[in-house]
Amino acid sequence: MFLFCEHPSKPLKQEGYCSYYSEVFYALRDVMDIEYISCSPRQISELGNHWEAIILGFGHTDCGDGNNPRDILRDIDIPTFPILNKEYTGLHEKLNWIRNMNATAALTVHHDYNEFKDRTGIPFHRIMWSANEHLFKDYEQSYGCDLFFSGVTRPEQTENLRERILSDMSRLSDYNLCINARSHKHNYSGKIFSPQEYARSLASSKICFITTGPADLVGTRYFEVMSGNRSLIVCNYIDGNVYGDMLKDNYNCVMFKNEKDFFDKCEYYLEHEDERMHIVNRAYDDFVQRQTWKTRALEMKSIIENYL
């Protein structure tokens, strides 16, 4: 029997803002014998000594600069696996927290997991998000817009690329745009979609503009779009192993290198429907075969069991 210990600041929920924190647990529950507890312990023994392994959920490191994670002493010899969260802020303190805990190994969605291992002496493994297939799907509705652009813009986010493209959207004025960008310039004001509104907006859009987040994190939107089998991912090209084998240019997405390249490719694929749908369908097939929550959970299960 395994235990998933989540911080009380991140309650379990089926859908909504940051529901993917909970979806990790629901996925694990489908592939292994695991229980859930909402708790912020001072030491691992507070959780009991009968577990095969303990996973510490995202909420324990859901903090920013100047707010350190609450210390947890690993005072009994139960394999313990913290999940690192928000790697773009307070990283030094979070890595120290994992090292001081003497964790068995740590999990992160960030591509610099080998660097984290070198800095802490603790093994790190990369895991990844997926999407709720019951929510993000083909709603069998007509397309309502050509391009979907949603989310926040931050100066530190991919060299302020989102804001730069947002400011030049008039270049696509001949197309039907759904723009709900919440800009740092306007104190992030704007509409926050309900889960159903958001999923249906993705499913009714021919193209979805996505960029990597702060610290070049690959967010959930990539997988939510793939799961819907309706919209084409148009995302920023980035060197190195950020995308790993999850995103492949002209295979399950289209990558752009600068603003001009973005607008050129949007216009091209909006005018070439067969080519657009060829990539969309291939992205969906790839998602179903190897990027669902079940696949992610089995990967996590394998990582943990290798330490037992």
Provide the strand spans (E) within the chain: 2-6, 34-38, 53-56, 80-82, 106-108, 124-126, 145-153, 177-183, 205-210, 232-236, 254-256
Q: Are 128 and 218 in contact (CB under 8 A)?
A: yes
216 in Cβ contact with 244 (< 8 Å):
no
Q: For a pLDDT cut of 90, what percent of the chain falls above it?
A: 82
Question: Residue 297, Cβ neighbours under 10 Å: how many?
Answer: 23
Higher-pLDDT residue of 224 and 160 is: 224
Q: Over the stretch 279-300, which tens digit does the pLDDT of each residue have?
A: 999 999 999 999 999 999 999 9
**What pLDDT sits at residue 30?**
97
Q: What is the mean pLDDT of residues 209-231?
A: 96
- Judged by DSSP in three states, 170 sits in helix
Domains 2-130+292-305 and 145-290 share a fold: yes
pLDDT tens per residue, range 27-41: 999 999 999 999 999
The CATH topology of domain 2-130+292-305 is: Rossmann fold (3.40.50)
Q: What is the pLDDT of residues 206-216, one digit of tens each?
A: 999 999 998 99
CB 113 within 8 A of CB 133: no
Q: Are 262 and 234 in contact (CB under 8 A)?
A: yes
pTM of structure: 0.94
Q: Residue ranges of the domains in the chain?
A: 2-130+292-305, 145-290
The CATH number assigned to the domain with range 145-290 reads: 3.40.50.2000
